[in-house]
């Protein structure tokens, strides 16, 4: 065969193979370097866990530097949550099974007041597949109202198209670290899959003005709490504390879950992970009694006539790792987990610290930004008020 035509055939085969790989479903590798589809990415039903009530949400945050065409620069942090809840007890008056969808976001403009929105709706259980894809190796969630879609995978990256009122996010997040997992049975049964660090790119529209993302760090996770016999899983816990801190080299993720008996400052479940952002590898993990939690400068808040408190400073320590966070800019969410507004839900304090959060690992001290969540369930508020 003429060498010229042979080269053309080889090139065509290469193009076809590349196109096939690009269109394939997202995959990861196991210890034998074999391709494995990751079905933790997609949606789940309550029946997957024999649950009486379950929630499932996908969370994305970011700390961004923005530039407009006219040269104006902004710094903006954000989070977005898209969630569905399933239960055999979710029915309308006619007995039709329902699914409960919600989405909420928070914006933290540097040196400005934070803003947020919470939206929820009910759809027939038979139609939930129109909005969330289940038992697939990727995320695909489209909220029924407005332009709010979240889709992708850890292997290929996640795309967020989210519009509400005078704000629009068109962002692509590419994880740069290995997937980590938090999971427990007590005090509440939950699993969280984390893509704890990566880069964001895309655009943001604020009050009709478009900005390009010029630099941004991001975090993604996918959480599934559920209960086998309670009306909601919130009935099994006082609440939790979660944080992620980003510095030049390090990323930390902390989960602390409180039982009803733990009250505001005890933790039945504690897990702290330290990641090297540059290599994408976990440096160290700490569990249970290896982790010491010191919450300080408590703030008293009255929510719908109920006294609630939250810490504004958090210190997390192990023998060789110390973390310090201040809840600097705080968004307060107070919502029922049931569609008819029964007081079975939570009060969630979601904070952002733009700088001076610290990670000290051995002798190396670094400063950076932090997202910090402190959640209290309605049952936790009620039982603490009685003590």
pLDDT for 344 equals 59
Q: Kindly tell me if the per-residue pLDDT of 55 is higher than 80.
A: yes
Give percent of the chain with pLDDT exceeding 70.
88
User: What is the signed CA dihedral for 103, 251, 68, 113, rounded to 10 degrees?
Assistant: 60
Instruction: Report DSSP state, residue 13.
Output: H
Q: How confident is the model at residue 385 (pLDDT cuts 50, 70, 90)?
A: confident
pLDDT for 338 equals 59
How buried is residue 87: exposed, middle or buried, by Cβ count under 10 Å (0-12/13-18/19+)? buried
For the segment 51-66, the average pLDDT, to the nearest whole number, is 98
pLDDT for 32 equals 54
Q: Tell me the pTM.
A: 0.90
pLDDT for 4 equals 45
Q: Kindly tell me if the per-residue pLDDT of 248 is higher than 90.
A: yes
Q: Kindly tell me if the per-residue pLDDT of 47 is higher than 70.
A: yes
For the segment 116-140, the average pLDDT, to the nearest whole number, is 96
CB 369 within 8 A of CB 322: no
pLDDT in tens, 290-329: 999 999 999 999 888 889 999 999 999 999 999 999 999 9
Q: Kindly tell me if the per-residue pLDDT of 21 is higher than 70.
A: no
Least confident of 29-38, 86-95, 151-160, 251-260: 29-38
Q: Kindly tell me if the per-residue pLDDT of 8 is higher than 50.
A: no
Closest CA to 316 of 241, 240, 369, 237: 241
pLDDT for 20 equals 37
Structure tokens, 39: 């079905």
Q: How confident is the model at residue 24 (pLDDT cuts 50, 70, 90)?
A: very low
pLDDT in tens, 327-377: 999 999 887 555 666 555 899 999 999 999 999 999 999 999 999 999 999
pLDDT for 293 equals 98
pLDDT in tens, 145-200: 889 999 999 999 999 999 998 999 999 999 999 999 999 999 999 999 999 999 99
pLDDT for 29 equals 55
For the segment 248-277, the average pLDDT, to the nearest whole number, is 97
For the segment 46-64, the average pLDDT, to the nearest whole number, is 98
Please name the residues in contact with 126: beta carbons below 8 A apart, sequence gap of 6 or more.
97
How buried is residue 352: exposed, middle or buried, by Cβ count under 10 Å (0-12/13-18/19+)? buried
Residue 298 to residues 243, 379, 386: CA-CA distances in angstroms?
17, 20, 19
Beta bridge partners of 353: 370
* Domains, the chain: 38-226 (2.40.370.10), 233-387 (2.40.370.10)
The mean of the pLDDT values for the chain is 90
Centre a 10 Å sphere on the Cβ of residue 170 and count the other Cβ atoms it contains.
17
Structure tokens, 248: 């030049």
CA distance 217 to 220: 11
pLDDT in tens, 232-247: 999 999 999 999 999 9
């Amino acid at each position: 065969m003429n060498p010229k035509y042979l080269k053309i055939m080889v090139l065509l085969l290469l193009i076809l193979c590349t196109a096939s790989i690009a269109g394939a479903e997202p995959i990861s590798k196991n210890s034998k370097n074999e391709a494995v589809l990751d079905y933790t990415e997609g949606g789940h039903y309550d029946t997957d866990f024999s649950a009486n009530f379950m929630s499932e949400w996908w969370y994305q945050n970011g700390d961004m530097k923005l530039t407009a065409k006219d040269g104006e620069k902004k710094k903006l942090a954000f989070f977005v949550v898209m969630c569905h809840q399933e239960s055999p007890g979710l029915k309308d008056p006619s007995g039709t099974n329902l699914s409960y969808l919600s989405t909420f976001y928070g914006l933290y403009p540097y040196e400005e007041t934070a803003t947020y929105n919470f939206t929820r709706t009910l759809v027939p259980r038979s139609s939930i597949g129109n909005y969330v894809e289940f038992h697939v190796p990727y995320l695909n969630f489209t909220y029924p109202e407005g332009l709010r879609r979240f889709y992708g995978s850890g292997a290929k990256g996640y795309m967020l198209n989210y519009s509400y009122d005078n704000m629009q996010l068109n962002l692509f997040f590419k994880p740069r670290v290995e997937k980590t997992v938090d999971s427990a049975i007590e005090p509440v049964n939950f699993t969280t899959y984390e893509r704890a660090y990566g880069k964001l790119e895309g655009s943001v529209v604020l009050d009709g003005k478009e900005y390009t993302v010029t630099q941004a760090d991001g975090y993604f996770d996918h959480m599934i709490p559920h209960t086998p016999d309670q009306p909601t899983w919130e009935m099994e816990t006082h609440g939790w504390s979660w944080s992620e801190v980003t510095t030049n080299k390090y990323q930390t993720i902390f989960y602390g879950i409180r039982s009803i008996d733990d009250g505001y400052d005890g933790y039945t479940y504690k897990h702290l992970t330290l990641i090297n952002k540059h290599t994408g590898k976990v440096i160290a993990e700490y569990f249970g009694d290896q982790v010491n939690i010191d919450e300080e400068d408590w703030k008293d808040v009255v929510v719908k006539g109920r006294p609630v408190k939250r810490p504004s400073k958090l210190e997390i320590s192990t023998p060789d790792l110390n973390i310090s966070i201040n809840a600097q800019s705080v968004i307060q969410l107070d919502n029922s987990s049931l569609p008819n507004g029964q007081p079975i839900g939570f009060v969630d304090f979601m904070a952002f610290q733009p700088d001076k959060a610290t990670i000290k690992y051995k002798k190396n001290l670094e400063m950076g930004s932090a997202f910090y969540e402190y959640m209290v369930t309605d049952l936790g508020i009620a039982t603490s008020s009685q003590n």
